[in-house]
C-alpha cells in the first residue's frame, strides 16, 4: 500500500513528460519502482517482483527496451525521471486535478483481511470482534477507518512485519494488500494464513489499478492500453501474478 501512495505522489508532479514519439525515438521506456519491496519490486532481481515483470512484458509489447528508476522515498519518486509506474490507483478526482494519465485498469485490489488459518466466521472487516488485535500499516487509510470503528489496530511500518506477527500468534488479524498475503503464503507454505477479500465490501478500501503515465499524450496511452489487452488475453499478466502467489482479479470497470 505504501507503493500505491508513492505512485500517486510521483505522478502528480511530472518531471519530464514524454509522448509516444519521444519514447520511441529513445527506444526505451522507464518505469519507477521501489528498490526493496517484494513481491512488488526488488533491485536484487531474484526475484524481480511482479511490477518489474509486468513492465518488462509491456516494454516487449511496445517493442522498446526497459529501464528502471529505483526509488524508495516520496522525494525520490518526485524527482525520478520515469515514464510509467504500475499499481496506480484509478481515482477520477485525483486524475482530474493533476497531469496524471492512467491506462485502462488491469487488476482489482484493495486492503484485504489476513487471518489465522483456523479462523472461522469472519468474512469482512465488519465481522471483527471487540478486543481483537488487527495489524495495520502506520498512517494508512485502513488504520484510520478501522480505528474509527473501534477496532484495536496495531501499527507496523511494513506489511511483511505484520504478517510475521500474525503467523506468530501476536495478532488476530491483519489489514494488508492481497499481494502481500499471497506472497507470504508462497514463501511460507507451513505457516499458511487465510486471505479474505474484505475490500470487496468496503468502497474506501477497494480500487482498480492501472499504469500511470507522466503527462503523456493520447497515443502513448492508447499503445499501453492495446498492449495490456494483449497481455491479459494471452494470460501473461495472470501468469506473472501467479508466480508470486497472487490471484489476478479483473478490474471492476470490466466486470
Q: What tens digit of pLDDT does each residue of 53-94 get?
A: 999 999 999 999 999 999 988 777 777 888 999 999 998 887
159-171 residue pLDDT tens: 999 999 999 999 9
Residue 131 · residue 151 · CB < 8 Å: no
| Pairwise pLDDT comparison (255 vs 65), residue with the higher score | 65
Least confident of 4-13, 32-41, 138-147, 224-233: 4-13
Residue 21 · residue 27 · CB < 8 Å: no
Give the integer Cα–Cα distance in Å for 143 and 155: 8
pLDDT at 97: 72
pLDDT at 120: 87
How many H-runs (helices) and E-runs (strands) does the chain carry?
10, 13
pLDDT at 96: 75
Query: Which among 210, 182, 209 is positioned nearest to 195, based on CA atoms?
Result: 182
Average pLDDT over residues 181-186: 98
List strand residue ranges (DSSP E) for 38-140, in order.
41-42, 65-71, 84-89, 100-102, 107-110, 112-116, 133-137
∠ CA 225-231-235, nearest 5°, is 150
Q: Measured in whole angstroms, how far is the alpha carbon of residue 29 from the centre of its chain?
A: 20
pLDDT at 160: 95
pLDDT at 86: 95
pLDDT at 14: 47
Least confident of 11-15, 196-200, 204-208, 234-238: 11-15
Residue 25 in this model has a pLDDT that exceeds 90:
yes
Predicted TM-score (pTM) of this structure: 0.92
> Mapping DSSP to helix (H, G, I), strand (E, B) and coil, where does residue 164 land?
helix
Average pLDDT over residues 182-203: 95
| Pairwise pLDDT comparison (172 vs 216), residue with the higher score | 172
pLDDT at 98: 67
pLDDT at 5: 46
pLDDT at 17: 61
pLDDT at 18: 80
Output the average pLDDT for the chain.
Answer: 90
Average pLDDT over residues 223-243: 98
Which range of 12-16, 148-152, 213-217, 250-254 scores highest in mean pLDDT? It is 148-152
Amino acid at each position: 500500500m505504501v507503493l500505491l501512495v508513492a505512485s500517486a505522489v510521483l505522478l502528480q508532479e511530472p518531471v519530464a513528460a514524454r509522448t509516444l514519439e519521444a519514447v520511441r525515438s529513445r527506444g526505451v521506456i522507464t518505469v519507477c519502482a521501489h528498490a526493496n519491496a517484494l513481491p512488488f519490486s526488488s533491485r536484487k532481481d531474484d526475484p524481480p517482483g511482479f511490477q518489474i515483470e509486468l513492465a518488462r512484458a509491456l516494454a516487449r509489447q511496445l517493442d522498446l527496451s526497459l529501464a528502471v528508476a529505483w526509488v524508495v522515498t516520496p522525494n525520490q519518486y518526485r524527482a525520478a525521471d520515469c515514464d510509467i509506474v504500475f499499481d496506480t490507483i484509478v481515482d477520477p478526482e485525483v486524475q482530474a486535478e493533476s497531469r496524471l494519465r492512467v491506462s485502462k485498469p488491469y487488476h482489482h485490489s484493495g486492503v484485504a483481511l489476513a487471518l489465522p488459518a483456523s479462523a472461522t466466521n469472519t468474512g469482512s472487516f465488519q465481522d471483527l470482534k471487540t478486543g481483537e488485535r488487527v495489524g495495520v500499516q502506520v498512517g494508512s487509510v485502513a488504520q484510520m477507518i478501522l480505528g474509527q470503528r473501534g477496532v484495536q489496530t496495531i501499527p507496523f511500518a511494513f506489511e511483511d512485519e505484520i504478517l510475521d506477527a500474525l503467523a506468530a500468534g501476536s495478532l488476530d488479524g491483519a489489514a494488508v494488500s492481497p499481494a502481500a498475503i499471497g506472497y507470504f503464503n508462497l514463501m511460507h507454505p507451513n505457516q499458511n494464513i487465510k486471505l479474505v477479500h474484505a475490500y470487496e465490501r468496503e468502497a474506501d478500501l477497494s480500487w482498480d489499478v492501472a499504469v500511470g503515465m507522466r503527462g503523456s499524450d493520447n497515443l502513448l496511452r492508447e499503445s499501453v492500453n492495446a498492449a495490456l489487452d494483449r497481455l491479459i488475453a494471452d494470460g501473461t499478466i495472470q501468469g506473472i501474478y501467479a508466480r508470486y502467489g497472487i490471484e489476478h482479479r479483473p478490474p471492476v470497470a470490466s466486470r
